[in-house]
Structure 1
């Protein structure tokens, strides 16, 4: 019976866990000139680096202030796995943030908040050193935001939501 209560508690804590990334790094000086990142909240996540599991969906709430005006916004999320200089795309569904709560067109000087859901690929293997990268571009393809943050890609068998001790 105690293990059942522990499972219910862990499940509850897992569903309400969220992390505000305090140390996202800009992708470089040429990135992010079209906006200022206010916050990225990852759910479920309770510490940095955020532990993610292959085949699972993670939700992010992104808040930023636009420095430019744009009719449309496109968004990509990718990750550098380990020390390899290759970035793997993690699909955002749907890929257009304007249909997920971002009020388009965006106007310079206005703060916006919207959500994104990213599913890690089911064939991803356990890699402890992962860098996530979120990029927003305006209707001309110029960068609005680009930020990187640490992740840990774990074996799904280690997912606390599936462990019933």
Structure 2
């Protein structure tokens, strides 16, 4: 009985550490199809984004365009404005996306970002984009609810 309890605790810990599949997201102009989005270390939605914490997103998608490049962009709605956030790795190529991106190919893209410092605690919407060769031509783009800052 004791061994069974330890195994159950271990399995629960693995599930909790693995993050969640985002179900409350909207497409914001993807020129392909997003199949799934996993975000770690989030445990529920909306995801609570804590300052100076590294978050890893894994997106499975099928590209709807050909593109020589793939560039990461991120933003969040703050008091009605959408300021861009610094993305530590602007080039999305090589993180599950092979460039050139081929229309009809399916990719599993993984990216890690460390959250900045927030001046206040607020509910918001975060947006992640991977831009193709042309400005505002998104290989993938999705928005999801978040809670920014410390509680």
Q: TM-score, normalised by structure 1?
A: 0.75
Is 2:47 the counterpart of 1:50? yes
**2: CA distance between counterparts of 1:120 and 1:90?**
9
Does the CA-based 8 Å contact 2:41-2:55 persist in structure 1?
Answer: yes
> What does the per-residue CA deviation read over 1:52-97, in whole Å, with 9 as the maximum and x for residues that have no partner?
111111111111100111111112111113xx12123333321111
Number of the residue aligned with 2:98: 103
Q: Could you tell me which runs of 5 or more consecutive residues in structure 1 were left unpaired when the two chains were aligned.
A: 1-8, 159-165
Out of 115, 118, 125, the residue aligned to residue 119 of structure 2 is 125
For 2:22 and 2:77, how far apart are their aligned partners in 1? 18
| Alpha-carbon distance, 1:51 to partner | 0.8
Choose the corresponding residue for 2:80, options 82, 85, 88: 85
Q: d(CA) in 2 for partners of 1:45 and 1:109? A: 30
Aligned 8 A contact 2:16 2:43 in 1: no
Q: Distance in 1 between matches of 2:86 and 2:144?
A: 17
Q: Which runs of 5+ in 2 are unaligned?
A: 1-9
SS in 2 for 1:146: strand
SS at match of 1:97: coil
How far 1:14 sits from its partner (Å)?
9.2
Query: 1:145: Cα distance to partner?
Result: 2.3
TM-score (norm 2): 0.82
Aligned CA RMSD, in angstroms, stands at: 2.0
- Paired residues of 1:51 and 1:152 also in contact (CA < 8 A): yes
Q: Following TM superposition, by how much is the alpha carbon of 1:42 offset from its aligned partner in structure 2, in angstroms? A: 0.5
Please name the residue that 2:149 is paired with: 154
